[in-house]
Chain A
């Protein structure tokens, strides 16, 4: 059973730069994942406008009937979000770990162009490792 269904990274203008699926039923095709990512970007922006007080930074957790969506926005506007089983804990930590991997293996890669899709082997390897570790930790609980 997969605790994490999928992981998305979107750039500051809402373009999908990374998408990985970890065993959800009916995997989305490329077009749909791009659409969903940009839709999420705009929903995130609208939620800030509807805040009753100032200083709102957008949706952090969306609880749907069959999944939870945790979102983390970096200071530069890059958004990382993970779709997981309802009630999964410690997703903020996982997203921060993914952000750390992103800064280490993507941003420090001299061949990476900003805001473009991520194609970095080291990022993929380390991300898989981090997700595995999270799953093992989950089994241990």
Chain B
């Protein structure tokens, strides 16, 4: 698997793929499963408390990744189901769709997972997530006061993210 094609940082946000208020929520997890950021824009239904919700989400992504790694029909050397894998190793997935939402997923080489949940009719959001990763690098990773592995409390990042998500939504 190739991560980002090139090393260049996309200078401008990708063109929106759909119109309408369609972004529901966003998660950022680090490689240990700690939820670094949770933003919610439009979520009428809450079934669990936030902690359990984050755990369930991380568990779902983890298991789906081991499922896709095991199912990969183009590779004969797959190992056992559920074998731990490094980011970028094995076959991963970039989105799934149900009748009520679409989940787009991106994992960086350092194991940070970006999850964006949108309207089911949204198009391919891989570029969008790459752009959000750029925002993360600019406003969080380069922030001197930010300690890696802790909750993201960067005002600038939150406003930039909200603004960008509103522009795609």
Contact = CB atoms under 8 A, between A and B. Distances in A.
A28 to B, nearest CB: 8
Nearest to A46: B60
Given A26-B76, A58-B98, A66-B72, A52 B43 contact: yes
B154 interface: no
Interface stretch (B6-14, B30-38, B88-96, B155-163): B88-96
- A28, A47, A54: most-surrounded residue (chain B CB, <10 A): A47
Chain A contact residues, majority secondary structure: mixed
Interface stretch (A31-39, A95-103, A108-116, A122-130): A31-39
Interface residues of B, number: 42
A91 interface: no
Interface in A55-74: 55-67, 69
Given A50-B53, A52-B43, A62 B100 contact: no
A64 B60 CA distance: 15
Contacts of B98: 47-48, 51, 56-60
Contacts of A63: 93-97
Interface size, A (range): 35 or more
A54 B45 contact: yes
Contacts of B96: 47, 59, 61-63
Nearest to B42: A52
Given A25-B76, A62-B68, A50 B42 contact: no
A107 interface: no
B56 A50 contact: yes
A29 to B, nearest CB: 11
Contacts of B97: 59-63
A65 B73 contact: no
A36 B71 contact: yes
Given A43-B64, A46-B60, A52-B44, A67 B72 contact: yes
A65 B101 contact: no
Interface of B: 1, 24-25, 42-45, 47-48, 53, 56-57, 59-60, 63-64, 66-68, 70-78, 81, 91-101, 103, 117
Interface of A: 5-6, 24-26, 28, 32, 35-36, 39-40, 42-43, 46-67, 69, 83
